[in-house]
Chain A
Amino acid sequence: MKTLQRILGPLLLALATLLTLFPVYWLVTLSLKREVDQFAVPPIWLRFTPTLAHYYDIFFVRSFGAYLAHSVVVAGVSTLLALAIGSLAAYSLARFPRPGLAFWILSNRMFPPIVSVIPLLLMLRWAKLLNSLAALIVVYTAFNLPFVVWMMRSFFEEIPVDLEEAAMMDGQTRLGALWRVVLPLVRPGLAATAAFCLVIGWNEFLFAFLVAQTDAAMTLPVGIAGRVTQYEIKWGAMSAAGVVAMLPVFAFAAAMQKHLVRGLSLGAVKG
């Protein structure tokens, strides 16, 4: 039994690793293969003549360069806004607790997004914001706010009050104390929270799909989805676009490693 376990365990883990990595690896190879090699039977696992034609195609023939820029702007700006507004509220709740209000803020995350999609769309149409980056920034900021408040509140609570009180004794305003004393101390938590918000904004599909249907504000996931659901899939272009959409996530992941569990329990990553 024990020896069986000693062999079976590592074997299972190796298998899980293989099954996790292969699909990602396969997407990358497809994006670099010439069309004849993509559909070869038997499949070409390792050796093929690489080409960047599909990347050229998505950036210079199709408008994926613009989609990429939209995704960067929307995820980046909404993250900054949510961090600014959310951290202020989180600090306030950490120092002057109001359990009822805090819970209300979190409960905003519990609703299935599909419930608020319709009224939000009508609001955005009324504000003449449909098909604009501003619409997505506003929606994602609101989307991330409850999450930022809860994450940052727990980080602020770990900082002793004495520090900022000492700073205020020395003539700092509360805002000054927060900015110069408290924020530098919670920087790792702030970075992790930012990484979560970035992933959520970067990966989000449903709202972007409904709110930004023209090239003026289309994000990467919507651009990809729009071409996949048509009859023909452009394999090379799709896999190249998929790789582009996938890469930044690895960088974000590194930043949130330590706080992944805390963030996930609050419903991050999945919107």
Chain B
Amino acid sequence: MKQGRIWLAPAVVALAALSIYPLLFAIEVSLRTGSGYGLDNYFRLARDRFFLVSLGQTLLYTTLALAVEFPLGLTLALLVDREFRGRRLLRSILLIPMLLPPVVVAVIWRLILNAEFGVLNGALRSLGLDTSGLTWFGSEKSAMLSVVLVDVWEWTPFLFLLLLAGLQGLPVEPFEAARIDGASPSQVFLRLTLPMLRPVIAVAVLLRGMDLLRVFDQIFILTQGGPGFATETVTLYIYRTAFRYWNFGYAAAMSFVLLAATTVIARAFLRLLRQHPA
């Protein structure tokens, strides 16, 4: 009996040392001031224009990506949720992007969307089109949309997979009853599929949203937050603050504000879902 319980010990010790301790340490560092402890770092954040801009851009990035990835993932899931030959193969293919190393995904798209030598602009030029306006990651105007585009390619599969699993888990009877009653496809979708899928939608969008708020790898490789400040997100600004300006306390404070913002948004989202039952 006792033997079975002691087996928890290694995992608990490892997590305490490598997860809890760093967390407590980060809290401590964020509260340090020149003369003792205080909330200076947090007050400074509220006046830091760069931080506020990066926070706004993080929210913009998250919103844009979700606005494309969710409808697209749902459409694909609905299309694959029926019997046809090659379905399993198709599902596996559609999942490829999210399993690739993010660094490799970023490299692929930097090569494809390179304004001068990339294959996309090259193909358009060979069709006789003027591509001088298609700067992709190269200009402040288009950089944000371009990094969102890469995110859509990489992570729509995540929503597709979770929503497809949700669709396949729905009971068959209500749909048969609806068909016998002569309901139209759009009625079935709006009155049956969507409401029954709600919990799965909530989980999928929530998980994706939380990951979007802490995006780092792709943007770091694609643009490093540039050109200028055009694609700087909070995590990139944290990275810059900690490892370019070596201000650990300020960076830690920022990361806790990001954590708090994530929690608040997640809770608001869940409450919104609960208040508007379909």
> Are A and B physically bound partners?
yes
A residues 235-265 touching B (CB-CB < 8 Å)? 235, 238-239, 242, 245-246, 249-250, 252-253, 257, 260-261, 264-265
Which of B3, B96, B161, B217 is the one whose CB lies under 8 Å from A174? B3
B residues in contact with A265, CB < 8 Å: 162, 203, 207
Chain A residues touching B, majority SS: helix
B interface residues (Cβ-Cβ under 8 A, vs A)? 3-8, 10-12, 14-15, 17-23, 25-26, 29, 75-76, 79-80, 90, 92-104, 106-112, 117, 119, 122-123, 125-126, 153, 157-158, 161-162, 165, 185, 203, 207, 210-211, 213-214, 216-217, 220-221, 224, 235, 238-239, 242-243, 248, 251-252, 255-256, 258-259, 262
Within the assembled complex, what's the spacing in Å between the Cα atoms of A191 and B23? 31
Cβ of A61 < 8 Å from any Cβ of B?
A: no
A residues in contact with B111, CB < 8 Å: 26-27, 30, 233, 235, 238-239
Which of B26, B97, B104, B153 is the one whose CB lies under 8 Å from A115? B26
For residue B104, which residue of chain A has the nearest CB? A242
Cβ of A46 < 8 Å from any Cβ of B?
A: no
Within the assembled complex, what's the spacing in Å between the Cα atoms of A26 and B98? 17
Which of A12, A42, A141, A173 is the one whose CB lies under 8 Å from B123? A42
Which of A1, A19, A43, A95 is the one whose CB lies under 8 Å from B153? A19
For residue B84, which residue of chain A has the nearest CB? A10
Cβ of A53 < 8 Å from any Cβ of B?
A: no
| Supplied contacts A21-B93, A96-B5, A206-B216, 10 more A-B pairs, CB within 8 Å | A23-B109, A42-B125, A92-B8, A115-B23, A115-B256, A233-B110, A233-B111, A242-B104, A242-B108, A245-B101
Which of B90, B165, B211 is the one whose CB lies under 8 Å from A13? B90
CB-based contact B259/A115 at 8 Å: yes
Within the assembled complex, what's the spacing in Å between the Cα atoms of A93 and B21? 23
Within the assembled complex, what's the spacing in Å between the Cα atoms of A229 and B223? 8
Number of interface residues of A (CB under 8 A): 87
A residues 30-48 touching B (CB-CB < 8 Å)? 30, 38-43
A residues in contact with B211, CB < 8 Å: 270
Chain B residues touching A, majority SS: helix
Within the assembled complex, what's the spacing in Å between the Cα atoms of A224 and B94? 25
| A233 vs chain B, min Cβ distance (A) | 7
CB-based contact B255/A114 at 8 Å: yes
Within the assembled complex, what's the spacing in Å between the Cα atoms of A115 and B256? 7
| B125 vs chain A, min Cβ distance (A) | 6
Within the assembled complex, what's the spacing in Å between the Cα atoms of A60 and B10? 42
Within the assembled complex, what's the spacing in Å between the Cα atoms of A102 and B84? 41
CB-based contact B10/A85 at 8 Å: yes
Within the assembled complex, what's the spacing in Å between the Cα atoms of A249 and B165? 22
Which of A228, A249, A269 is the one whose CB lies under 8 Å from B110? A228
For residue A14, which residue of chain B has the nearest CB? B90
For residue A146, which residue of chain B has the nearest CB? B15
Which of A85, A112, A116, A199 is the one whose CB lies under 8 Å from B99? A199
Given A142-B15, A238-B111, are A252 and B239 neighbors across the interface (CB < 8 Å)?
no
A residues in contact with B123, CB < 8 Å: 42-43
B residues in contact with A21, CB < 8 Å: 93, 96
Within the assembled complex, what's the spacing in Å between the Cα atoms of A210 and B251? 15
A residues in contact with B75, CB < 8 Å: 12
| B151 vs chain A, min Cβ distance (A) | 12
Cβ of A205 < 8 Å from any Cβ of B?
A: yes
Within the assembled complex, what's the spacing in Å between the Cα atoms of A257 and B94? 13
Within the assembled complex, what's the spacing in Å between the Cα atoms of A101 and B83? 43
Within the assembled complex, what's the spacing in Å between the Cα atoms of A119 and B104? 28
Kindly list the 4 A-B residue pairs having the minimum CB-CB distance in the complex, ordered from nearest.
Answer: A42-B126, A89-B11, A142-B18, A119-B22
A interface residues (Cβ-Cβ under 8 A, vs B)? 1, 5, 9, 12-13, 16-17, 19-21, 23-24, 26-27, 30, 38-43, 85-86, 88-89, 91-93, 95-96, 101, 105, 108, 110-120, 122-123, 138-139, 141-142, 145-146, 149, 173-175, 199, 202-203, 205-206, 210, 220-221, 224-225, 228-229, 233, 235, 238-239, 242, 245-246, 249-250, 252-253, 257, 260-261, 264-265, 267, 269-270
CB-based contact A112/B214 at 8 Å: yes
B residues in contact with A203, CB < 8 Å: 100-103
CB-based contact B101/A145 at 8 Å: no
Which of B6, B10, B21, B259 is the one whose CB lies under 8 Å from A112? B259
A residues in contact with B8, CB < 8 Å: 88-89, 92-93, 101
CB-based contact A117/B242 at 8 Å: yes
CB-based contact A111/B103 at 8 Å: no
28 contacting pairs across A/B (C-beta < 8 A)? A12-B75, A27-B107, A27-B108, A30-B111, A39-B117, A42-B123, A42-B126, A43-B119, A88-B10, A108-B15, A112-B214, A112-B235, A116-B23, A118-B242, A120-B18, A122-B25, A142-B19, A199-B99, A203-B102, A205-B220, A221-B102, A221-B104, A224-B107, A228-B106, A239-B111, A245-B101, A246-B101, A264-B161
B residues in contact with A239, CB < 8 Å: 107, 111
